Chains A and B, each alone.
Chain A
């Protein structure tokens, strides 16, 4: 250590003032922003008729009744593996895209990026472009600065409120909840959730912005580990750009590279970095520096692509004067094929599971305390809790029968009949007795295999479950 002064472990945050830019990637990002925000804000308002007694909201997480509705699909809590499967698919999809195209998720689709983009857009409408914002930053707190800042935060608050508001609409009937919210009749948890999400939206999208990606988010660390030399990502072709310098006729511009050191790529960067320093943890690969540089290259009459998407392996080729290989050869490699296979496998399994799941759901729990009861006439009786789910909008009768030893008899508690009626969209517990007469095989054997059959009397569908009858083997 040559210097005696200890290094500073904390530094002030460097404010970032991204400049407006237009171009291919900016246009793509506008489209993605419009589509993703549209999906987020509008989905709860889509209606879907499911018949009587069931909600008519297309996408609804009904926590109180433990149901998840997604258009024609209805998920019950015991089918939560569908959600787990979707999360696995989301993870594998992220691996696939990251190994093929780098941090495209971060740059285009991550909510943090989308909302930050929206907040910056609003900020630019109110306070002006980069230079105006830098001036305002340094300006004294006069009436104009107060007015602009107030307008900005108010607009952000409206966006935040809409964001937090849309979130809670996924958990209740949206039109009813909106009416309750406006008339102040909604439950406190709705207002609390809205307030928290409004605050976090403003905090993350408006104030913290790139700090979230650099210091809070684990993905940059994980995604960096998912990339390899064939991953297509954003870089600066320094072999073409260097040595950089202003192109002045008098100073022998022919010795200089294509980079005119105009800082356009730096000024538009929402992360506040210089892409010419190479791949950095902070870079979310949003492509705005490409748009900015292409614009400049057009103006100075040089070919586009000084900053662009390329793979590290192509850098070696291009430096050696070779042509880069086609994009599909980078993307199609064992790793991405493996991810695609896994992703599709989980997807196919989920769709398959969705189609084969039975309409009738039955669980049989034998009562094991006690395992059997001796009746006064010596009959041995076993008891089973049978839960039947009726997923339909109307009450349905289910017939319960027994298959096995013909000496066994079946009875349902509280009814002389062998059928039970299950109310609409609910689960019903029936206590079922199975009796073996004194001296019969089942009464004296330790275990006898039995099978319960349940038939939906409305449509004739049948389903069975195996269980065991315990006798008195003493």
Chain B
């Protein structure tokens, strides 16, 4: 190879690498490219000094700029809270039954209530508010309400809860466990009578009529003579298509024998007044509000 061939177009020869006679031209990079590499290293070191970087046993170095994403989020949340403060005041002051007339406030309440619901209520009632029948968590989408489905009744239930010891104003009612009072035969009769109220295909008319007197003596006081229930006592309507724990012969027998004791926390002790009102507005517009 002549010395002329040793020159590449840029005149820097070869790198000296040679494989089976195939050589590699040397095309040197401008040195400033190397400097940018060093600059990135310096930048990286400075970055770890300025910002949180090095992990320690239980935390990390804080950095000279005291930057913290957590503090940023706190500041953003505080800013949003400040921006929403007038809306929250209106939400607390307003008569909830008229909230739909104020489209802006209602829209705010529904969105706020949805967020509160997701964080606090969905664990039992489900993300879609459909409830869990097997556990007796009621669906909030239908038009059957144990303690009333008007918006202020919903707000009361959210605020004070059901059968909890924390709030003296909590809804409270208790159905006796008739397994301790009735014989098995009597339970069977009264269950068939209860199922007859909604014309369940499982009910036996003969057993049902045998249970009629037991019903009027023991059940009608809360559930009503017609079995329509009583919202003030949380006594469910037994004539409709909705069963909190299920409407099969087996489940209703279980309910009558052992009773049920569904509880709900008093959310007024944990949430702000505005959050309670917002959650009520959200639940009320899910499709079953009255």
Flag whether B143 is at the interface (Cβ < 8 A).
yes
Given contacts A370-B130, A373-B139, 15 further A-B contacts (CB under 8 A): A1-B16, A1-B18, A9-B15, A10-B28, A10-B29, A11-B28, A12-B30, A367-B128, A370-B128, A370-B139, A373-B287, A375-B142, A375-B143, A377-B241, A378-B241
- The minimal Cβ–Cβ distance linking B18 to chain A, given in whole angstroms, is 7
Query: Cβ of B31: which chain A residues have Cβ within 8 Å of it?
Result: 10-13
Flag whether B19 is at the interface (Cβ < 8 A).
no
- The minimal Cβ–Cβ distance linking B281 to chain A, given in whole angstroms, is 11
Flag whether B141 is at the interface (Cβ < 8 A).
yes
Residue ID in chain A nearest B31 by CB atoms: A10
A438-B30 in contact (CB<8A): no
Residues of B in contact with A, size category: 20 to 34
Flag whether B65 is at the interface (Cβ < 8 A).
no
Flag whether A313 is at the interface (Cβ < 8 A).
no
Give the interface SS of chain B, mostly helix, strand, loop or mixed: loop
Q: A280 to B28, alpha carbons, bound, how many Å?
A: 16
Q: For chains A and B in complex, what number of residue pairs have CB atoms within 8 angstroms?
A: 90
Query: Cβ of B15: which chain A residues have Cβ within 8 Å of it?
Result: 7, 9
Flag whether A383 is at the interface (Cβ < 8 A).
yes
Flag whether A321 is at the interface (Cβ < 8 A).
no
A1-48 residues with Cβ-Cβ distance < 8 A to B are: 1, 3, 6-13
B118-162 residues with Cβ-Cβ distance < 8 A to A are: 126-128, 130, 139, 141-144
Query: Cβ of B26: which chain A residues have Cβ within 8 Å of it?
Result: 7-9
- The minimal Cβ–Cβ distance linking A411 to chain B, given in whole angstroms, is 9
Query: Cβ of B32: which chain A residues have Cβ within 8 Å of it?
Result: 13, 211
Flag whether A467 is at the interface (Cβ < 8 A).
no
Flag whether A176 is at the interface (Cβ < 8 A).
no
Q: A376 to B287, alpha carbons, bound, how many Å?
A: 12
A234-274 residues with Cβ-Cβ distance < 8 A to B are: none
Query: Cβ of A215: which chain B residues have Cβ within 8 Å of it?
Result: 29-30, 33
Per-position binary interface string of chain A over residues 371-411, scored 1 when its CB falls under 8 Å from any chain B CB and 0 otherwise: 00111111001010000000000000000000000000000
- The minimal Cβ–Cβ distance linking B221 to chain A, given in whole angstroms, is 22
Query: Cβ of B12: which chain A residues have Cβ within 8 Å of it?
Result: 7-8, 11
Q: Which of B34, B127, B143 contacts A376 (CB 8 A)?
A: B143
Query: Cβ of B141: which chain A residues have Cβ within 8 Å of it?
Result: 370, 373, 381, 383
- The minimal Cβ–Cβ distance linking A320 to chain B, given in whole angstroms, is 27
Query: Cβ of A381: which chain B residues have Cβ within 8 Å of it?
Result: 141-142, 287
- The minimal Cβ–Cβ distance linking A370 to chain B, given in whole angstroms, is 4
Flag whether A414 is at the interface (Cβ < 8 A).
yes
A residues contacting B by CB (< 8 A) are 1, 3, 6-13, 211, 215, 277, 280, 367, 369-370, 373-378, 381, 383, 413-414, 431, 433, 438
B237-A376 in contact (CB<8A): yes
Flag whether B13 is at the interface (Cβ < 8 A).
yes
B60-99 residues with Cβ-Cβ distance < 8 A to A are: none
Query: Cβ of B259: which chain A residues have Cβ within 8 Å of it?
Result: none
A-B residue pairs, 9 tightest by C-beta: A369-B128, A376-B240, A11-B28, A370-B130, A378-B241, A13-B30, A1-B16, A373-B141, A10-B31
Query: Cβ of A377: which chain B residues have Cβ within 8 Å of it?
Result: 240-241
Query: Cβ of A383: which chain B residues have Cβ within 8 Å of it?
Result: 141, 287
Q: Which of B30, B139, B285 contacts A10 (CB 8 A)?
A: B30
B18-A376 in contact (CB<8A): no
Query: Cβ of B207: which chain A residues have Cβ within 8 Å of it?
Result: none
B13-62 residues with Cβ-Cβ distance < 8 A to A are: 13-16, 18, 26, 28-34
Residue ID in chain B nearest A11 by CB atoms: B28
**Could you list 11 A-B pairs, sorted by A, with CB under 8 Å?**
A8-B28, A11-B10, A11-B28, A12-B31, A367-B128, A370-B141, A373-B139, A374-B241, A374-B242, A376-B144, A413-B285
Q: A322 to B12, alpha carbons, bound, how many Å?
A: 38
Known: A1-B16, A1-B18, A383-B287. A9 touches B29 (CB 8 A): yes
B14-A7 in contact (CB<8A): yes
- The minimal Cβ–Cβ distance linking A297 to chain B, given in whole angstroms, is 25
Query: Cβ of A375: which chain B residues have Cβ within 8 Å of it?
Result: 142-144, 241-242, 288
- The minimal Cβ–Cβ distance linking B115 to chain A, given in whole angstroms, is 16
Flag whether B9 is at the interface (Cβ < 8 A).
yes
Q: A383 to B140, alpha carbons, bound, how many Å?
A: 14
Q: A11 to B29, alpha carbons, bound, how many Å?
A: 6
Residue ID in chain A nearest B14 by CB atoms: A7
Query: Cβ of A12: which chain B residues have Cβ within 8 Å of it?
Result: 30-31
B235-251 residues with Cβ-Cβ distance < 8 A to A are: 237, 240-242
Residue ID in chain A nearest B35 by CB atoms: A10
A414-B285 in contact (CB<8A): yes
Query: Cβ of B258: which chain A residues have Cβ within 8 Å of it?
Result: none
B198-241 residues with Cβ-Cβ distance < 8 A to A are: 237, 240-241
A6-B16 in contact (CB<8A): yes
B28-A376 in contact (CB<8A): no
Query: Cβ of A9: which chain B residues have Cβ within 8 Å of it?
Result: 15, 26, 28-29
A369-B142 in contact (CB<8A): no
Residue ID in chain B nearest A277 by CB atoms: B9
Query: Cβ of A433: which chain B residues have Cβ within 8 Å of it?
Result: 287
Residue ID in chain A nearest B237 by CB atoms: A376
- The minimal Cβ–Cβ distance linking A374 to chain B, given in whole angstroms, is 6
